[in-house]
Amino acid sequence: MKMPKNTTKDARLYWLIKSEPHTFSFEDLKSLPKKISTWDGVRNYQARNFMRDHMRKGDLALFYYSSCPKPGVIGVVRITKESYPDPTSWDPKSPYFDPKSAPSSPRWFMVDIQWKEGFPKYVALEAIKKNNKLSGIKLVQKGNRLSIMPIEKEAFAEICRMGGL
DNA sequence: GCCAACGTTGGC
DNA sequence: GCCAACGTTGGC
């Protein structure tokens, strides 16, 4: 996907980020101090590039549950810190350890996210697929396994509307 | 647990 | 640089 570098301050982008609820849930995020967490463990180059090169402080992201009985979007988070090296990548004890990454030459990056708002109504993937307005988004395209993907402003708004915001 | 999709690795 | 083998994702 071609995307210009987001250099202008007012060009807000919208995102969808995936998490497995049994690994890190939306409630887990909400329970943290200031409701902020690092978004570490991203080990896919395309996802990394989106995060590192295009995610900006203040951008909003849909929080999506994957690999669970009912995949879907549960709420909205805000990017509070732009990308910086992911230290779990050089921690041999971390499940995200990558021997090719080092503090002097970090291969992987992370951002900080903050819990913003929970949907009054869970928006299941099933409902997203049935909504004709959302037929073009990457999430529902065949074979797309990206854990971080951009989403059009209009689609972001439509999913929020479905969620009761 | 299955399996399609697809990214990564490594031999050549 | 090609491409087969392998690993992972993630819906079902």
A 46-85 residues, CB < 7 A, strand C = 66-68, 71
Give A104-139 pLDDT, tens digit per residue.
889 999 999 999 999 999 999 999 999 999 998 999
In this structure, what are the phi and psi dihedrals at residue A49, rounded to the nearest 5 degrees? -65, -40
Give A88-106 pLDDT, tens digit per residue.
999 988 889 888 888 988 9
Q: Which two tokens stand for residue A53?
A: 């090169």
- pTM here is 0.92
Cα-based distances in Å from A90 to A41, A83, A95, A155: 11, 17, 10, 37
A145 touches strand B (CB under 7 A): yes
